[in-house]
Amino acid sequence: MARMQKGRDPADVLIIGAGASGSVAAAHLARAGVDVVCLEQGPRVDNAEFYGDKPEWELMAQKRWHPNPNVRDLENDYPINTDASAVNPLMYNAVGGSTILYAAHWQRFMPSDFRVKTLDGVADDWPFTYEDLEPYYSRMDEEFGVSGLAGDPAYPPHRDYPLPPMPIGRIGMKAAEGMNKLGWHWWPGPNSVPSRDYRGRNQCVRYGTCLTGCPHKAKASTDHTHWPMALENGARLVTGARVREITVDAQGLANGATYIDRNGREAHQRAGIVIVCCNGVGTPRLLLMSASKHHPDGLANSSGLVGRNLMMHPYAAVTGTFDEPLESWLGPAGQSIQSMQFYETDTSRGFVRGAKWGVMPSGGPLGLRAAYGGKALDEAWGANLHRNTRKVFGRSFEWGIIAEDLPDEDNRVTLDPELTDSDGLPAPKLIYKNSDNTKRMLDFHVARAEEAMEAAGAASISSTKLMRDCGWHLMGTARMGDDPTRSVVDQYGKSHDVPNLYIYDGSVFVTSSGFNPTGTITAIALRAVEHLIENRSHAKAACSHSKVMS
């Protein structure tokens, strides 16, 4: 049994999780003069720990910097039972959260994404529109330092990005030529990597290793974009603090959280308001772990929807190999160009909604080997290894397809009855499968992307219909809405059940869209936290000392 430590000074606001959403919330609350503590289970990461600028990069990408916590198996990770899941969830657990490893594709949702019920008769509409969120998108572009080109006809006109676009490279030019032949949409992809030095971060030098951490302190991970501002304004960040329970007082208000530090000691952090930012898997896990006599099914779970409607964006890839050298290891990675040609619903295709495509570089020679497991020896090795490397290495790129994954209550996060993390806390168990709509969508999109590769002049094309290690985007498990029986939080992330408990991470998504979500997660977090700050005089809080109340 862990020893209970003396608690720290109470805070106005406790944030749990220092990832994308938690960092934005901490920075803005601290700047508004609110006393904030953030508990984060992982450590701070030093950019020198990354291997992107070293020859060992690909070797270490397969283990130490793998995006699947079950493969990495670090102490700051928790294991996840994926036996009943078609897709592995991916994340990083440290200050900066999953932005430490994200590819920094910086996307907005399209207007239709917020109105899928009205337009397509599926799932639910969001409680706000694209237009409501638009000003927050622009501000997040600014704070993250997004490099991109305004004017994409896939969106209503919006403010220009703060930085000029990153180069699309030879791979982007090839892909774009193919799209123009077909008359299909493409646009240089916006990336949250700076094309010039920007607010303490360095200009991206195109290592192309963004997915295993940026060694150059260029990429917009939130340890660099938001924690400096939060700390300068007095936010307190506690690392190595794994929260096991959000505690609730006799009035039914959240009054803090109990956590375990890296010496195995238990402590309690008191606070007036609690904001959960643990991501689409960590948040439902924590709410379910916080079950008590008054909340037997988990905290904030009177709707029964905590953990349900998990969405993880099934991902397909169409890879083309070209006769000419394309330097396809060059970054950012990051995306070169994107296409929303087949994003909007066309029911004649046999499914609703669609997918975003993005061109990505293909890395070094070792990564190419990863797909060869289980093949005949002489197919993968021997003289064929040299032939394949000569043919493919530096000459191939992929159209990656992010399919919109509609919410389904049976796709869910629960607590595993046996598996635990290194502190003995129950691990999450995922139950997740793809719907027929998704399968038809992937078939259609893969066929079109093969046509796009052919039009670009690929000498050979190969496709993967569903990658297992593709759960980069974790959404939907504490959805927002106006109706407390059909949602967990309101449009500002406030729990319907516990009026001083908030959720700001990707769990609150109503639908998934077909876009990388972090631009939207952070815009929603900003909108929610500014609403909290503006309405601080009315906000319910558990501690009488709370300045939030004043």
Ligand X SMILES: Cc1cc2nc3c(=O)[nH]c(=O)nc-3n(C[C@H](O)[C@H](O)[C@H](O)COP(=O)(O)OP(=O)(O)OC[C@H]3O[C@@H](n4cnc5c(N)ncnc54)[C@H](O)[C@@H]3O)c2cc1C
Which residues, 452 to 491, sit near ligand X by CB under 6 A? 472-473
Give the Cα separation of 411 and 431 in Å (integer).
5
Given ligand X, ligand SF4, other proteins, none, residue 219, with its beta carbon under 5 to 8 Å by kind, binds: ligand SF4
**What is the DSSP code (8-state) at residue 83?**
E
Site string for ligand SF4, 159-198 (x = CB under 6 A): ----------------------------------x-----
From the list 68, 302, 389, 435, which residue makes contact with other proteins (rule: CB under 8 A)?
389
DSSP for 308-359, written as a single string:
BS-B---EEEEEEE-SS---TT-S-SS-SEEE-TT-S--GGGSSSS-EEEEE
Q: Which of residues 338-397 bind ligand X (CB under 6 A)?
A: none
Name beta bridge partners: 147: 163, 191
Site string for ligand SF4, 52-91 (x = CB under 6 A): x---------------------------------------
State the nearest-atom distance from the C-beta of 430 to ligand X, in Å.
15
Q: Which of residues 208-267 bind ligand SF4 (CB under 6 A)?
A: 208-210, 214, 216, 218-219
Measured from the CB atom, the residue of 257 and 458 that comes closer to ligand X is: 257
Q: What is the dihedral of CA 295, 288, 263, 24, to 10 degrees?
A: -100
Name beta bridge partners: 89: 471
State the nearest-atom distance from the C-beta of 105 to ligand SF4, in Å.
12
State the nearest-atom distance from the C-beta of 472 to other proteins, in Å.
21
Give the Cα separation of 56 and 193 in Å (integer).
23
Q: Which of residues 488-547 bind other proteins (CB under 8 A)?
A: none
Given ligand X, ligand SF4, other proteins, none, residue 242, with its beta carbon under 5 to 8 Å by kind, binds: ligand X
From the list 1, 56, 296, 544, which residue makes contact with other proteins (rule: CB under 8 A)?
56
Take residue 505 and report the two structure tokens written for it. Answer: 């991470």
Measured from the CB atom, the residue of 162 and 426 that comes closer to ligand X is: 426
Q: How many residues bind ligand X (CB under 6 A)?
A: 43
Take residue 79 and report the two structure tokens written for it. Answer: 């294991």
Q: Are 478 and 328 in contact (CB under 8 A)?
A: no
The 3-class secondary structure across 415-452, one letter per residue, is: EEEEEECCCCCEEEEEEECCCHHHHHHHHHHHHHHHHH
Measured from the CB atom, the residue of 244 and 412 that comes closer to ligand X is: 244
Give the Cα separation of 130 and 151 in Å (integer).
17
Contact call for residue 455 and other proteins (CB under 8 A): no
Measured from the CB atom, the residue of 216 and 285 that comes closer to ligand SF4 is: 216
- Closest by Cα among 516, 437, 430 to 468: 430
Q: Which of residues 69-108 bind ligand X (CB under 6 A)?
A: 90-94, 97-99, 101-105
Q: Are 488 and 478 in contact (CB under 8 A)?
A: yes
Q: Are 457 and 263 in contact (CB under 8 A)?
A: no
- Closest by Cα among 158, 175, 227 to 20: 227
Site string for ligand X, 244-283 (x = CB under 6 A): ---------------------------------xxx--x-
Contact call for residue 286 and ligand SF4 (CB under 6 A): no
Give the Cα separation of 148 and 184 in Å (integer).
20
Name beta bridge partners: 137: none
Site string for ligand SF4, 314-353 (x = CB under 6 A): -----------------xx-x-------------------
Measured from the CB atom, the residue of 134 and 142 that comes closer to ligand SF4 is: 142
From the list 163, 204, 211, 392, which residue makes contact with ligand X (rule: CB under 6 A)?
211
From the list 52, 67, 145, 514, which residue makes contact with ligand X (rule: CB under 6 A)?
67
CA distances to 48, 110, 149, 168 from 164, in Å: 27, 22, 6, 12
Site string for other proteins, 166-205 (x = CB under 8 A): xxx---xx--xx-xx--x-xxxx------xx------xxx
Q: Which amino acid is at 193?
A: V
Q: Which amino acid is at 521?
A: I
List residues near ligand X by CB under 6 A.
Answer: 16-22, 39-42, 67, 90-94, 97-99, 101-105, 211, 241-243, 277-279, 282, 286, 472-473, 505-506, 516-519, 521
